[in-house]
Structure 1
Amino acid sequence: MATNPISGLIPRGSLGLKLLLICLLVLVMGVPLLVVGGLVSERENRARQVTAELGAAAGGSQVLGGPMLIVPYTRSVEVTDDQGRTQRRLDRGTYVVFAETGAADTTLTVQSRRRGIYRAAIYSAATDFDAAFTPADALTGIDESYRFDWSQARVVMFVSDSRAIRNAAELRFADGSTETMEPISDLSLVPAGGVENYSRPGLFSAPSAPLPTTLQAFAAPAHLTGAPQNFTVETRLELSGAERFSVAAFAQDTAVTIRGDRRDVRAEGYFQSPDPLQTTDAGFEIAWRVPLVARGAEKAADLSSFNLGLITGRDMAVSFVSSDDVYRGVARAVAYGIMFIGIVFLATLIFEAVSGRKAHPAQYILVGLAQCVFYLLLLSLTEIIGFTTAFVIAAAATVSLLGYYAGASFRSGAIGARALAGLAVLYGAMYVLMTLEDFAMLAGSIVAFVVIAATMIATRQIDWYGRGTTPASNGQT
């Protein structure tokens, strides 16, 4: 009868062969983990969709553009036709003049609006604007062919969605007079023909960000006569929105302060605040200041070639933790799932070596599936009660189950207790790893190295071929 030559090299009961089998089982456990990962992505997309629907009903992500001065003009220019003849043409257009200084002070009142298990951060924003204009200085150096009609000058503002405005915005001038701002349809915030570059004699600029086309403008008369006088205006705008709030750098020198009653907030936008976002028991507060040189736009521009929507991408913003953010911790946990399953399998193999008792491959599979179910528990509970509490509950249930199963399988209460303690430490390390977003790779590498080093030290005297009796198994139960 033929014999297998390999059987003489690796005996049937060798731990080395068992280790190779366990490595294969760890890879097999990647299949259910992939299923769990796909489920996390599906739930995250669903949460994002529902959040967007809730947010759209409240006004969506709002961008506010503070007071700016728009002045109509006529301009006589010479053009040459196809036959080389020169003719004079009268062009009509609008110039925008940005305030010399502008400030916006916003107070946000935030609440969570729910649909089933999903939620969105809905806010009410009250913003006080003030702006000081010096039109003559801003237009210094403009081609003399421009003839401005200052009597028709208007102060214009814009928002992303005017349906969410909750008050009748009024301009207040320094002399105490007021003007109610009204929607305007005769001003296009995007140049005709989709021009994305701004140019005039001696100047040229091209925006690097996509240009919005959904801005909604409203304006009021600027109370100017036949000359460009300096003036100041104030106004208060109340509106609602969702998830993100931002103020564009609407003046040559813009100062913005945003405060609110929530703490789960982060600072965003094109410009960075010189000071970090401050959180207190009452909420948060953050301030920015953007000078002309940092703003990257001129003091004044011709709207026939300048996209006013360009400045919406140069904003100062805060955003609130959205519904899909709760899935990031779960996704990170699943990404390291193979490593933690491998650690548990390796620990089980060491228990085999030191106790002299054997665990069947089916038992390894059950242990691996129990850990995969942990991620399902974590996902389903996180959607309802948040990541931290969900992790504690799911980890406590899984650790208790695996500790009990280890004690019952090896018929040893001591091994069950050691497994319970070891798994508690392991899942504690997993939680730390999941919360260290910026240092997750470093923490994971350290955990993996420590586990491998501990395993090598603990198994340094094991007879992996199984030809003899391992020192660790003599007289141990």
Structure 2
Amino acid sequence: METKKQKIGNWFRTSISAKMLVVGFIFLILLIPLGFVKDLIRERETRQAGVIEEINQKWGNEVIIYGPIIKVPYKTYTEEKTFDEKTKTFTKNYKEVLNHAYFLPKTLDIDSEVNTRQLERGIYETVVYTADISMNGNFNKFDFSTVDLPEKDIIWDRATLLMQTSNLKGIRNEIQIRMNQNEYTLKPKFDESYMSTLESGFLRKQLKGNGDSTFSLKIKINGSDALRFIPIGGETSVSMHSDWHSPSFNGNYLPNDETKKISNKGFDAHWTVLETNRQFGQQFFNHLPNLNKFAFGTSLIVPIDDYQKTERTSKYGILIIGLTLLVFLLIQIISKIAIHPFQYFMIGLALIMFYTLLISISEHQNFLKAYLISGVAVVGLITAYSKTILKNRKFPMLVFGSLSALYAFIFVIIQLENYALLVGSIGLFIILGIVMFSSKKIDWSNQ
């Protein structure tokens, strides 16, 4: 029995296959704490998202805004029949019903100046903005021919002006619209829908039924994430200027290429949308539909933040742990130096500590500095530890060079966006080639 145990022990100490099995098992075990680290990164990222959402809600969320729209009430009549028991006949009665027509402007010119700022809470920060918006345009003809109404049933002196926005609490000024040389103040109206409504008092016969009605107004509004408009004009022209350097133009319409400019100092963009580019007309009867799906504008995206970079880095954890253990395994096989499984495990834990250091330091420093500090600490620790195991200077220097090159390679990949896959594939191909040719020196006869 003792002889059998000795044979098994000798097999583990001398067999290449046994060493590979042991190191492979340790590698699988190390995936457990690596998974915990990834969960920690996601938890911190979720915490950041919650704090940012809370800050944005207090400052002002995404802004969708459109208007002005003229709302004109009109009368229609429904026929009701009642049965008279005495005469045994039906009598007709007509009940008056109040409906509303909504007329969109013929032209709408919007100019918006978007100034951004960063707000902080503890270790978290977010980007918000204040937009100064000017609107000008005109209405031309209010056509009721599609509903065949007599003029007496149109209540012109009770017409009002409407604006709608997704972010009522972000408005920083009293909105006054100037129309036909008269000024009207828009006040909030109770509305349970996603969009909040602002409505003026009665226009009191200021409309010209068949003539032009010009308007102008200014809005100052706080928001975050995005600023978008809905092209309600027969011809809608939107200009946006901002000091933010990372815009994302989205929605149903993109800005004109010849006017779009993006630099480190900000961006300028211009949109032109015609009625023929939309799927709705210039007037609605009975109700105003939800037009949010036609919105377009700009999202003020934040470039990849430190949590996203840390999460991307952790995805290469399997690669780093696997290659590092492989380097030690090749050194052990080639040099015949004994490395205990416990020592492999300690090296793997040191590699995992890199990610906890990275996420904790990056919450207080920029990502480059956090990556540099974490990398130097882990590479230095493993190099010093390998010197006590390998008993010479040549192999620890090989470990130092391999780890330094590997961490530098990973850092380059996570900084790239368009070429990350290409560079990563080429790098892995080179690493595979190095491992393949290094393994030629191994005597595989002792399995």
Normalising by the residue count of structure 2, what TM-score does the alignment of the two structures yield?
A: 0.86
Counterpart check, 1:249 vs 2:237: no
The secondary structure found in structure 1 opposite 2:147 is coil
**Per-residue deviation at 1:277?**
6.0
Give 2:160's aligned residue: 154
Of 5-14 and 52-61, more deviation after overlay is shown by: 5-14
Counterpart check, 1:179 vs 2:179: no
Q: State the structure with more CA Rg.
A: 2
Counterpart check, 1:279 vs 2:262: yes
Alpha-carbon distance in structure 2 between the residues aligned to 1:448 and 1:16: 24
Judge conservation of contact 2:256–2:269 (CA < 8 Å) in 1: no
Judge conservation of contact 1:122–1:242 (CA < 8 Å) in 2: yes
Counterpart check, 1:33 vs 2:34: yes
Counterpart check, 1:219 vs 2:200: yes
Alpha-carbon distance in structure 2 between the residues aligned to 1:344 and 1:64: 55
Of 42-51 and 148-157, more deviation after overlay is shown by: 148-157
Counterpart check, 1:298 vs 2:302: no
Of 406-415 and 362-371, more deviation after overlay is shown by: 406-415
Match of 1:462 among 438, 442, 445: 442
Normalising by the residue count of structure 1, what TM-score does the alignment of the two structures yield?
A: 0.81
- In structure 1, list runs of 5 or more residues that go unmatched: 191-211, 468-477
Judge conservation of contact 1:16–1:465 (CA < 8 Å) in 2: no
Residues 8 and 243 (structure 1 numbering): CA distance in 2 closer, same or farther, change over 3 Å?
closer
Residues 436 and 154 (structure 1 numbering): CA distance in 2 closer, same or farther, change over 3 Å?
same
Judge conservation of contact 1:112–1:120 (CA < 8 Å) in 2: yes
The residue type paired with residue 335 of structure 1 is: K
Number of aligned residues: 437
Match of 1:93 among 83, 92, 99: 99
The residue type paired with residue 397 of structure 1 is: A
The residue type paired with residue 132 of structure 2 is: A
Alpha-carbon distance in structure 1 between the residues aligned to 2:9 and 2:120: 66
Alpha-carbon distance in structure 2 between the residues aligned to 1:46 and 1:277: 36
Q: Deviations over 1:113-155 (max 9, x none)?
A: 111101121211111112222234xx47622147433333333
Of 270-279 and 311-320, more deviation after overlay is shown by: 270-279
Alpha-carbon distance in structure 2 between the residues aligned to 1:285 and 1:226: 37
Q: Deviations over 1:28-47 (max 9, x none)?
A: 11111111111112111211
Give 1:208's aligned residue: none
Superposed, 1:377-388 pairs within 5 Å as 377-388=357-368
Give 2:116's aligned residue: 110
RMSD of Structure 2 on Structure 1 (CA): 3.3
**Per-residue deviation at 1:88?**
4.2
Alpha-carbon distance in structure 2 between the residues aligned to 1:56 and 1:239: 13
Alpha-carbon distance in structure 2 between the residues aligned to 1:107 and 1:450: 50
- Quick one: percent identity of the two aligned structures? 23
Residues 281 and 445 (structure 1 numbering): CA distance in 2 closer, same or farther, change over 3 Å?
closer
Alpha-carbon distance in structure 2 between the residues aligned to 1:343 and 1:84: 93
Alpha-carbon distance in structure 1 between the residues aligned to 2:7 and 2:105: 85
Alpha-carbon distance in structure 1 between the residues aligned to 2:182 and 2:166: 24
Counterpart check, 1:315 vs 2:279: no
Judge conservation of contact 1:68–1:251 (CA < 8 Å) in 2: no
**Per-residue deviation at 1:433?**
2.5
Judge conservation of contact 1:51–1:322 (CA < 8 Å) in 2: no
**Per-residue deviation at 1:262?**
2.4
Q: Deviations over 1:127-185 (max 9, x none)?
A: 1112222234xx47622147433333333212223332222222234x6x241422143
